[in-house]
Structure formats: C-alpha cells, structure tokens
Structure 1
Amino acid sequence: MDKIIILWADDEIDLLRPQILFLEKKGYSVITVTNGHDALEECQQNRDIDVVFLDESMPGITGLETLSRIKAENPLLPIVMITKNEAETVMEEALGSQIADYLIKPVNPNQILLTLKKIIDNKRLVREKTSSDYQQEFRQIFMEINSGLNFEEWVEVYRRIVNWELKIDQSNSSEMGDILSMQKNQANTEFSKYVTKNYLHWVQADSDGPVLSHQLFRRKIFPLLNNTTPTFVLLLDNLRFDQWKVIEPVLSELFRVEEEDTFCSILPTATQYSRNAIFAGMMPAEIEKTFPDWWRNDNEEGGKNLFEGEMLGEQIRRTMRKEIKYDYLKITNVAAARQLQDNILNYVKNDLTVIVYNFIDMLSHARTEMEVLKELAGDEKAYRSLTRSWFENSPLWSALQKLAEKDVQLIVTTDHGTIRVNTPSKVVGDRETTTNLRYKMGRNLQYDKKDVLEIRDPLQARLPRPNVSSSYIFAKEDIFFLYPNNYNHYHNYYKNTFQHGGISLEEMICPIIKLKVK
C-alpha cells in the first residue's frame, strides 16, 4: 500500500519533531509548513496529500481561514484542527467547516495515531467490509437470476443490485464495482428473456402480471386519494430506481417514506408511449383510436406529449366515481420551475396536483451531446451523483420544502428509466423507420433476431400500426441500434450514453413512492 501523506501546518513546527519522527517510523510521510499560505500552496501543488493537520492559531491567515480555503479547493480532503483554544465558538466554527477531527495541544503521538486510523483506515475498513459482504451475496444473486423468477422476484433482485451499487459507490471499491456491473449485465440478459416470454400476455390479459404504465393511476394512485389530504404526484421523467435512492435521503429530511413500490413501464420504454399511457389510462393503440387528435405516431410531425393534461382529465372522469379538483403542470424550463417554486402552495386547495418535471430526461440527452457532461457523468456513479446534486440545488426541492409545511401526501414516480448502452447492433430500415436507438418501428426491418424482441403485429402489443406492414423491435440488455451508414462514427458517438426505449431492469422497473410530511 502507498504511504499515507500528511501535511502538517504549525508555526511551531520545530517543537513537533518528536511527533513527526514517531509518525515516520510508523510508515507515514509528513510534509511540514509553518503558515497558512504555504499550506494552501502545498495543497494546490500536491494532490497526493491524504490528510492535513492544521494549527488553529498561526500568524498571517488563521487556521480557520486556511481551513475554509482548502475546503473550497478540495472539499473531500480530511482536515484535523489542532488548537490550544478550547473555546466553544472556535470549535463550532471548525466543526461547521466539516473538519474530520480536532486535537487539543499538547498532542501526544498515540492521539495522532488514533485520529489517523479513524480517518484513513475507516475508509479502507468500510471498503473491505463492503467487498466481503458482496462476495458472500454474489453467489446467492447469481443463483436467483437463473432460477426462473416472477416479476416481484425480479424487482427484489434489482433492488438488491441497486443497494450494492450504492454501497460500493461509498466504499470506492472499483474491483467490486466491475464485478457488480458484470452481474447486472447478466441479470439483464435473463430479465430480457423473461420479458420476451411474458410481455404479450401481460398487455393482453390486462389483469395478470405486473402493474403496467396504463394501469398506474387506476391501481396505484387513485385509491390513495381522500377527502382530507391534498395529493401531489411528482413524475420525474427518466427517473431510475437508483436515482430515486440517491435523492431519497434529501426528501427524507422533511418527508417520511410510507411505501416504496414499483410498476412496469410498457414497451417502448419511451416518453411518447409510456407517459401518454400513464395519463390516458390506455395503451397507445387505444389512445390513437379514442383520441386521434391527441396522438402522433413516430413518423408524424409535431409534439408527441402535448395532451397529457387533457388525457388525465378524461381518465379522472372515466374512472373516479366522484368529482375531484385537480391540476396538471409540466415543467420543462427554468422559468416554469421558478414559477412552480413561487406558486406551489396555491395547489394545496386541490384534491390532486400532478407535476411532470423533465430535468432528468434533459440531463440524459444533454450528456449524449455535450462533452463536458460526458466528463461529469462518465459512469453510473457519477450519473447518480449529478442527479442528487441537481435535486438538492433545484427549484423543485425549494418548492417541496414549502409544501412540507402543509399536511400533504406526496407520490414520486416516473414514466421509464434509462440504460447505459455499450453493444451496437446493425439495423436496416427505410426512411420512415424511427430514429430511437433502443427501439425501431418501420416496414421491412432487417436486424439480428437474437438482439431484439420483435413484434410483427403491433396490435398484439396494443401499439399503433401506421402501415399494414409496420412492425416493432425492442433492444435487449445494453444493445443500441445503428444503421450501416457511418457505422463507426455513430458507434463512437453513442457508446456509453444513457438511452431508453428497450428492455432492461433499469428502463422497465419504475419506482412509485408514497410519502407523507413528517
């Protein structure tokens, strides 16, 4: 293991030679400086520093000021304050700046060693414990994946995989992360086989199998409405189950999770299909037939989700036995988000308020197109981190904080998730073929049959059929479709991007969470 590097800043550093020699004999490397300016410079120039010991009362800039400036540059670097001053205000200020620990002078070597073990070894111990625990469960998950699971059992396997992803994120165990990623790929292979075998039965039976998109309001949301508590449904477009888990701790500051449930997105797992089905309470073929002016096929001009509010109104009138007061809001830009933040309490008078919030969908598309976002969200861990960072600083969270002052019921859900695609598969189609990378609808499609679920008769899947020879194909696992033209260019452009429309645990198993104000 590499030596742990300590930066020790103290204007009386010469008096600390015994402590420094003690640490060096224990295998630590110690860099010494005598003031805050040199400490800042050393931190800027040497990114290998593992921990900083910082004297609180140095000439020039104080220890507390040095602390805040180091944290501004490197917020994750552990800093230990060393002080003669036990004044409560000093310690409160230091603790407020997120120090890792503090010591009171004169410090003895064993105190220092204990602090270092607590800071440095704790990370290693957490990593080793996480790896050990996952290795024990790896075999169990492996056997379950291959044991012919039903939908509820697949949901449980997916929950456990997500739980391990989050634990491994925290432990920074890249080796375990790689193994878990391989296990999730294997799970998606088996899940794709399961969906291929059962999907048509689910959509045709309408009551057998998991709750699907078009049943979401009727079976999961309308039964929760009551006369006393206003209900807010927040639909975050593209919210995967793991992304829900990273924003859950933020929401839990003010809301109590009463039930964590799931539903299954219909195919295609794309906004035009899944979200219209959610709000209409109908499968896409029935929407096209019942509301022809509100439906646009892939190959038709115009917005594909322009009438969700109207569809919701029709579903309420068709399904509810009593009249309810409701509003539908769609947030697609910063101005609308600010307006929601300002006006959220106006909707407490409703029985039901539905808010569609499009940020995560925009994030996944922007990540494909913008190099800077590809760097910021380079992998699953970073994508989750970016989601949480956005949520914590969003007008949406500010609006929900206002809402938490009232007695309301909050339901958080989505329309579908996304998967990071890595495996290209060639498709040939005419100019009318859809452009989505995870599903295709068109005539005379040519493709590799092992890579797809094919639906030759769309009406069997209760999907529109623009032409008599139209068919659909859905990508399995982490596959993305490419045309032969400019194949290498588009392969490099789209590989490792987040896409939706096909069959995977991430796209199809969707969270629906019931929360109450604490």
Structure 2
Amino acid sequence: MKKAHFLWVDDEIDLLKPYILFLEEKGYSVDCANNGNDALEMCRLSPYDLIFMDEHMPGLTGLETLSALHTFRPDIPVVMITKSEDEGIMNKAIGKKIADYLIKPVKPNQILITIKKLLDQKEIISETATVDYRGEFNKLSEDIGRADSATEWTAIYKKIVFWEMEFARSQHPMQEFVMRQKEEAGKAFGKFIKRHYEAWINGNDPSRPLMSPQLLEQQVFPLIDRGEKVFLILIDNFRLDQWLAIKDVATEHFLYTEQEYFSILPTATQYARNSLFAGMLPNRIAADMPQYWVEESEETGKNLHEADLLAALLSRLGRKGSFSYTKINLHQEGERFANGFSGRELCDLTVGVFNFIDMLSHARTESKMLRELASDEAAYRSLTRSWFLHSSLPSLLSKIAGKGGTVVLTTDHGTIRVKHPQKVTADKQTNANLRYKAGKNLAYDPKKVFSVTHPESIGLPSPNVSTRYIFALDNDFFAYPNNFNHFASYYENTFQHGGISMEEMIVPLITLHPKQ
C-alpha cells in the first residue's frame, strides 16, 4: 500500500527534524518548506495528500498561505499548527476550512493520530466493514433462505441496504458481493410474496404487515387524536435507501422514529396511493366510489381524486377535524406550500404530495443525460439528496418544527432498477406499465411472474370477466416480442415500479416530533 506524501511548512523547519524522521520511519514521505511562497509553488508541482502548516511565519502567514492555496488546490487537507490558543485565530482557521489544528508543542503521537483521522480513516473503516460483512454474509444468506414473515424480510432488506450504502461510499470491491446477495434476496422475496400476498389482503394471515389501506387509520389518525397537528409529507417513488440519504437533513429539528410498511400491488400510484388515501383496496374504491376510480384503459390521469378519497375516508370514520391537501410538482409550488404556514393556524391534518422523484425516474428513462447522472443506485441516491437539499422541504420542515407540528414522512411505493426483460404478449387495451400488466389476452411464462386470474382475490378491480394481472418479480420487466431487443436494451437499467420487489414494496414510514 502506497503511503501518503506530506508537506510541512514552518519557518523553523530545522527544529522539526525529529518529527520528519518519525514520519519517514512510519513509511510516509515528507517535503519541507520554510515560508508560504515556497509552499505554494511546491503545491503547484506536487499532489500532496496532507499539509502541516505553522500559523506564525514571516512573510505570508499560515492563514494567508491557506487562502492562496485554496484558490487552486482546495482539496488538500491542511492541519494548522500554532503556538497560540487564541480563539480568534482558531475561528479564522476553521472558517477557512482547515482540516484540523494542533497547539505547540506538538507530540509525535498527536501527528500520527491526526494522519489516521484525516487520511487513513476511510481505509480503516473500509477494512473493518469488509471483515464485518464477511462475518455477516453467511448469516444473511441463511436468513434469506428461511425468512417467511414480513418482519424477517424487512430486517433482511434493511441489512442489505446498509451494506450497499456502506460499500458504495468508497467504491469498495465488496459491492459486487452485496449486489449478488441482493439479487438472491430479491428472488426469494418474490416467492415469499406469491405465497402470502392473497392471505394478507383477505386478512387471513395474523402476521400481515401494515399495508397501504391501513396506514392513515393506524399511524396518522392516532397522532391527531392525541392533539397533535400532523403534516403528512408523501414523496412519490421514495425508497428506504433514499430516506437514509437525506435523513441527517430531514431530522435536523426533530426527534424521529423509523419503521416501514408494505405497499399493495400494483406498486403504482393509481393503486397504492389511491388505496392509501381512501383507506380501502382498489376494488372497493371502484365499486363504492366509481366517480373517483379511473380504469387502466382510460386516458385521463389516474390520481386526480386523492383529496376526494381522503375526504370520503374522514367522513366514513366520522372525523370532523380540518384538513388540507396539496400536490407539488414544481419548485415554485413547493415554495408557496412552505410559505403558506406563516401567520395562520395549522390544520389537524395537512397533506403535501411531492412528485419530483417519480418525475425524475420517468424523465431518466427518456433522457440520456439523466441516465448518466443517475446511472446506478448510488447516483440515484445522490441525485435525490441534491434535490432534497435545494427543494422547499428543508425550509418547510423547519417551519413545521417551529410551530410544534408533527410530520409523518412516507411514500406510496418505491422503485427498482430493472435488468432482465421477460416476454409477454397482450392486446392493444393492455396497460403500458413495464412491471405489471392488466388485460384479457395475456401470454407469458407463468414461472417468471406472479399471475392473478381472479383480481378480486387480491383486492383489485376487474373491468372484464377475463381480466387478469401479472406482476414482474425482482428486477425483471415486461417486453413485447415485436422489436424485443430494441425494447429490452432501451429500458434495461431504468428505474420502474408496479411489480414485486423489496425496493418497491418495503417502504419507509418516518414520524418526526419537534425537538422543542
């Protein structure tokens, strides 16, 4: 392993010979400069990994040298060394983004600790993570092989997401092993859902997890009954790993509890989100409130009546409190939503639906540039974090906390990066979704899908007597035989939803209570 290359800048550099020898004995390479100008010139010529710099030097001071350095090499970490503990100097140094500072006289062991903290930390953490994951690998494989409850599968998915994100930070070669284990888990999870889903929907399985139709009644309304003003923030297409990517920002003003719930099938807005707001399964919405249900074959939007469905649920349960519903597609709409709480009383329930991630996943399918920007899960998380930081949500959350409101942050379903096309044939009336199909004349390989010939058995409407649904498993997607290769290559590695996978079905449910 190649050791780091340092630059030590001090006008009394000859007195520091013992430190230089100490570092060289540890295998590090050290260059020396006795003034700021020489240091700047050396940094232009050599890619140093770390700089130790004295603050009190004749000519350019350490802080002045640091300012000049940052104009052309802002990436080099600088450790400021000073004789003074003056708070003003420390504040200036920290303000100029030093990596660390040491007070003279400096001991050799302090130098070594600083190096390990700044340079070796990633490597040490990576090596530790590798050892930990190797120890976890066999146990996780055993858990995947025998898991037969929603609780067990949620725990497995959370562990896989943890390791996926842990190794993605450093592009660690162990990522490949995690992805293989994730695929193994995805296949087993599909079989698990095929065995249990119908019993969950019909209430015949006591181990049924919390699902879309029960979410408001079991998780949101009890908070209102305790006298809390609740904000339900629903981010469409929001996965567990994306929550973890924004968690530090979202929880800045809150104490929080994390849990998960299961989206119903299809894991698509028309079904999962309408079911969530209606508090009932899609077949009941279609039967009891046909004015709010849009069939697959109709051209109009499939989620235009969420506020109506929510109002009907509140009325059905005899809940008299106030509520508001807002859908946010554009940044300006989010700004208006966030600014709308100043100077007015909060509703008992305020709902905000943010559609950016769903729009991103669809746009990414069509745009080569976005495919490059979100080429894999790590990039997708990064793009999500960037959007969140620059959206109206941090400001909104801050204002909610300031007013003492409670936030329930969740989604209607997740999304998965699809990789393997599965051939299916269908008539022209069949829906276009790549992860599920609903129609009369479907031909497919029954071993490769979850096929439902009686839609009502899983709470889905049946526009025709012969309507059936099929769902893609794990990271498969449906492609028609006509022009199959073009279709398959075009949609491969795009993010889709509607089918059966841990990423689409096991989704975050976060409750945030203000710290003060």
> What TM-score do the two structures reach when normalised by structure 1?
0.89
2:10 matches 1:2 = no
Partner-residue secondary structure (3-state), 1:180: helix
CA positional deviation for 1:189: 1.1
CA positional deviation for 1:77: 4.8
**Residue 462 (structure 2) aligns with:** 465
**Residue 182 (structure 1) aligns with:** 180
Partner-residue secondary structure (3-state), 1:417: coil
For residues 486 and 34 of structure 1, what CA distance do their matches in structure 2 show?
A: 70
Match of 2:507 among 505, 510, 514: 510
**Residue 437 (structure 1) aligns with:** 434
In the alignment, is the contact (CA less than 8 A) between 1:452 and 1:473 conserved in 2? yes
Match of 1:286 among 284, 287, 292: 284
The aligned runs of 1:405-484 (5 Å cut-off) are: 405-484=402-481
**Residue 264 (structure 1) aligns with:** 262
CA positional deviation for 1:366: 3.0
Comparing 411-420 with 217-226, greater Cα deviation is found at 217-226
User: Aligned letter for 2:501?
Assistant: S
Per-residue CA deviations over 1:235-278 (Å, capped at 9, x if unaligned) read: 11111122222322223321111x32222111110111100111
In the alignment, is the contact (CA less than 8 A) between 2:147 and 2:153 conserved in 1? no
For residues 44 and 194 of structure 2, what CA distance do their matches in structure 1 show?
A: 54
Q: Structure 1's 470 and 74: CA in aligned 2 closer, same or farther, altered over 3 A? A: farther
Q: Structure 1's 299 and 57: CA in aligned 2 closer, same or farther, altered over 3 A? A: farther
For residues 371 and 57 of structure 2, what CA distance do their matches in structure 1 show?
A: 42
**Residue 28 (structure 1) aligns with:** 28
Comparing 241-250 with 506-515, greater Cα deviation is found at 241-250
CA positional deviation for 1:495: 2.2
Per-residue CA deviations over 1:358-387 (Å, capped at 9, x if unaligned) read: 122223223333344333333222322332
**Residue 199 (structure 2) aligns with:** 201
Q: Structure 1's 74 and 516: CA in aligned 2 closer, same or farther, altered over 3 A? A: farther
Q: Structure 1's 44 and 467: CA in aligned 2 closer, same or farther, altered over 3 A? A: farther
**Residue 102 (structure 1) aligns with:** 101
**Residue 139 (structure 2) aligns with:** 140
**Residue 243 (structure 2) aligns with:** 244
Comparing 436-445 with 84-93, greater Cα deviation is found at 84-93
2:279 matches 1:314 = no
**Residue 228 (structure 2) aligns with:** 229
User: Aligned letter for 1:194?
Assistant: F
For residues 387 and 360 of structure 2, what CA distance do their matches in structure 1 show?
A: 10
User: Aligned letter for 1:510?
Assistant: V
For residues 66 and 133 of structure 2, what CA distance do their matches in structure 1 show?
A: 37
Comparing 88-97 with 365-374, greater Cα deviation is found at 365-374
In the alignment, is the contact (CA less than 8 A) between 2:410 and 2:510 conserved in 1? yes
**Residue 273 (structure 1) aligns with:** 271
In the alignment, is the contact (CA less than 8 A) between 1:345 and 1:403 conserved in 2? no
Alignment gaps of 5+ in structure 1: none
**Residue 328 (structure 2) aligns with:** 331
User: Aligned letter for 1:95?
Assistant: I
Q: Structure 1's 349 and 19: CA in aligned 2 closer, same or farther, altered over 3 A? A: closer
**Residue 92 (structure 1) aligns with:** 91
In the alignment, is the contact (CA less than 8 A) between 2:232 and 2:408 conserved in 1? yes
For residues 475 and 106 of structure 1, what CA distance do their matches in structure 2 show?
A: 66
For residues 298 and 43 of structure 1, what CA distance do their matches in structure 2 show?
A: 63
**Residue 294 (structure 2) aligns with:** 296
Q: Structure 1's 2 and 334: CA in aligned 2 closer, same or farther, altered over 3 A? A: same
CA positional deviation for 1:325: 0.8
> What TM-score do the two structures reach when normalised by structure 2?
0.89
The aligned length equals 514
For residues 210 and 110 of structure 2, what CA distance do their matches in structure 1 show?
A: 58
In the alignment, is the contact (CA less than 8 A) between 1:218 and 1:281 conserved in 2? yes
Partner-residue secondary structure (3-state), 2:270: helix
For residues 311 and 286 of structure 2, what CA distance do their matches in structure 1 show?
A: 17
